[in-house]
Structure 1
Amino acid sequence: MARSSPVFEQPKSFRASRRWGRGYTVETTDVVVIGAGFAGLVAARELGRSGHSVIVLEARDRVGGRTWTNHALGHDLELGGTWVHWVQPHVWSEMTRYGREIVRSPMAEEAYWLGAGAEVRKGTLADFTALIDEGQRQIIADALAMIPRAVDPTVGGITERDQLSLQQRLDEIALDDEARSANESVWVGHVNAPLNEVGLSSALRWASAAGGHWPLMHEASATYRVVGGMSGFTAAIAADVPGDIRLNSTVTAVEHDATCAVVSLSDGRQLRAQRVVMTLPINAVDTIKVTPVLPDAWVRSNRERVASQGFKVWIKVRGRLPRFFAYASQHHAISVLKSEFVEDDHTILVGFGADHRAIDITSVEQVNAALGVWRDDLEVIGVAAHDWMKDPLSQNTWMTHRPSQLTRDLSELQQADGVLHFAGCDTADLWGGFIDGAIESGLREARLVSASLAT
């Protein structure tokens, strides 16, 4: 995308540059932001508007990070983050700022799920809601006791329960096989991982953010899309950044000391900055060599990996179908399926699964076979997806913690390491893992960086 925003003139105290062996000039700037997703763009905008010179380095050929509106299967499809809601204050503020509107995903006319013997059940939205209600209420029943204030997700009873997995919590609840399978698959749609690898905290913090109401939490997670797409949204923010956004700029190393950092790119160029804001997800921070090494929490979390390891796939099937959703079990290749676009001659479905290795999401044949768990009358004629687990710049979908990771690591992950600052949905307090969380962290770090430069 073309950029016309000016690069700010460097302060005299930090304007010196030098030539080095390959003939490049080492540029200087107040702040380098690594990554042009929501967190990086918001941080750069705020810092630039506070009078600091900012250069954003983005390895991809686009802005948006793990949000990406791509035209495929005849539609503008969100290959990454999709849904927003007015109970998410940071994203809603940005929606208001840039005049973005929302559209509701289709209300289902039919529902499919699996019975106790794996036989297919068919009913209505009300039927399925009644089936999962008890389990959903019990899973998050103590959300407000465990996390009394959603903006402080590591404070409260969660410190004593964070070692539990979401699966362990489900196993504590007396449910019949049909209700258990349905409840488990519903949560796969939220956490994008096998439930025994996901911390209970992931469910409780989102429920707390929704006031302890499970229907509101579900609505906030998967109901309203942004008109014009996420790429249009991030482009609007990018156009508001009073600094330089450089695409196709892969950072390979960051060397830092108490006063500045030198950022090296894959093409040999270097930039010197007084502060660096890193926005890479936990799973991908090791793609940049940082000297001295990152804080222990980053190294430990990167080694363990976060829990999310699933996928999202768009599926084009022949014919105009009644709007429906379907849930299998967490052990099926595709656990969650629902209609998003219904046309005269085709229907576009979106599916989610817990394990990206369970299916080739680029294969029409494999996806078609996976849909057979619910229906044998669907003919897949196209698929579209991006495997974020295989993407070296993300290596996960969205943040879901493993047991104990939230309370053990979050506060340390938020702390600056000298001139290095960290932003992204992985380090958010309120809606961690969501676009709202990315924006929250970008605002936070911009404020802290600006304050540190003023001293």
Structure 2
Amino acid sequence: METTDVIVIGAGFAGLVAARELGRSGHAVIVLEARDRVGGRTWTDHVLGHDLELGGTWVHWIQPHVWAEIARYGRRIVRSPVAEEAYWLGAGDAPRKGTLDDFLSLIDDGQRRIVEDALTAIPRAIDPTVGSITELDGQSLQQRIDDLNLDDEARSANESVWVGHVNAPLKSVGLSSALRWASATGGHWPLMHEASATYRVAGGMSAFSAAIAADVSGDIRLNSTVTAIDHHKNGATVTLSDGGEIRARRVVMTLPVNAVDTIAVTPALPGVWRQANRERVASQGIKVWIKVRGRLPRFFAYASQHHPISVLKSEFIEEDHSILVGFGPDHAAIDVTSIEQVQAALSVWRDDLEVLGVAAHDWMKDPLSQNTWMTHRPGQLTRDLPQLQLADGVLHFAGCDTADLWGGFIDGAIESGLREARLVSAALAG
């Protein structure tokens, strides 16, 4: 039977960074990736005539771990277009049109009040479960907005903004998601929004992850699906779908919370993982790229959390077409492969958009992810996060679901990979 020092399960950013660092520490590493590519929930695909990000996209220099990797590999960032027009739904879903400044003026008071206690709830963003968040974590984001008693116009606009960020109905999402992201940006809500959805990596995320993969000294084996892990105090045996087995002294799992039950683990995963897996995390939405006819003025649009596409914005403007990207809170509410359904969803804002094509990957239906990006349900953050970071004997856990600073982001995945590489290396040295 083949043996190695460490098996890393998953070749997303967390797994690649962990494998790279372990290899640099002199350990033999094998990365097992079920997909036919590296990158995990980041994926640049050439569709609709463009290189489009079907998964994680935006980064920012305020995110220290991803920015260090961007600098390390000489990547550049590109800004998404600044909107010339804004569309949103007001009271009673009445359509509105204005400028970027009009919309920002409408949401300013509400956005500030939603996260005004971020720095008392989470005084140090690197310790997201310490502070008054322990008392607030049971609240949903919807409860916080309800408590503000905003007028109907401001309420509709503020809800729509947060639906775009959390990719789920607001009643399902913990207030903790808003507060920890705001804490990470010093309580400054405009910077939090900028960090979440403004700058993308030039050349694409797939090329970025491939650059990290090229620095991994061990094997990266694609199309290698892990079905079982049998671990004990001296090591573990990992079984693949083809029946092959590999023994290792340590194993690093990087699967999201929602997908860890796709691997049979003996002894069973710790109770915190099993409970979180049963509950699922809050995110359950969609991301869809849309090609429409004509060169359009750059715009963004917000609808409510009850619409299948709640956020829409321009990303690429060409002479004869425009490429838009949309997000919605419920993947079951729309077939993102259907031009007809996407066309109907856009009509809530404007009837002059002719959809020529769509492209998307339903991450909720993908057995290797079963969610988009981590947004906690009420109570999950403070109850689960510290325990999700703990090793179970020789079994370690990485991935953006286990990050402290930017949980749910690429930065968080990298943070977790660095953390577990250090812990595994120390354990092997001991």
TM-score by length of 1: 0.94
Q: Write the mapping of 1:33-432 to structure 2, written as runs, cut at 5 A.
A: 33-432=8-407
Report the Cα distance in structure 2 between the residues aligned to 1:208 and 1:187, rounded to whole angstroms: 16
Report the Cα distance in structure 2 between the residues aligned to 1:192 and 1:324, rounded to whole angstroms: 20
Unaligned runs of 5+ in 1: 1-25
Deviation at 1:118, TM superposition (A): 1.9
Unaligned runs of 5+ in 2: none
Deviation at 1:384, TM superposition (A): 0.2
Deviation at 1:358, TM superposition (A): 0.4
- After superposition, what is the alpha-carbon deviation per residue over 1:11-62, rounded to whole angstroms, capped at 9, x for unaligned? xxxxxxxxxxxxxxx2100000000000000000000000000000000000
Q: Quick one: which amino acid aligns to residue 103 of structure 1?
A: V
Query: Secondary structure in 2 aligned to 1:431?
Result: coil
Query: Secondary structure in 1 aligned to 2:91?
Result: coil
TM-score by length of 2: 1.00
Q: Quick one: which amino acid aligns to residue 111 of structure 2?
A: Q
Report the Cα distance in structure 2 between the residues aligned to 1:170 and 1:98, rounded to whole angstroms: 41
Runs of 4+ in 1 over 2 A off after TM superposition: none
Aligned length: 430
- After superposition, what is the alpha-carbon deviation per residue over 1:45-104, rounded to whole angstroms, capped at 9, x for unaligned? 000000000000000000000000000000000000000000000000000000000000
- After superposition, what is the alpha-carbon deviation per residue over 1:419-453, rounded to whole angstroms, capped at 9, x for unaligned? 00000000000000000000000000000000000
Deviation at 1:115, TM superposition (A): 1.9
Deviation at 1:117, TM superposition (A): 2.9
Report the Cα distance in structure 2 between the residues aligned to 1:95 and 1:287, rounded to whole angstroms: 32
Aligned to 2:410: 435
Query: Secondary structure in 1 aligned to 2:11?
Result: coil
Report the Cα distance in structure 1 between the residues aligned to 2:282 and 2:85, rounded to whole angstroms: 31
Q: CA RMSD in A?
A: 0.4
Q: Quick one: which amino acid aligns to residue 140 of structure 1?
A: V
Query: Secondary structure in 2 aligned to 1:217?
Result: helix
Work out which of the two has the higher radius of gyration on C-alpha atoms and give 1 or 2: 1
Deviation at 1:116, TM superposition (A): 1.2
Deviation at 1:411, TM superposition (A): 0.4
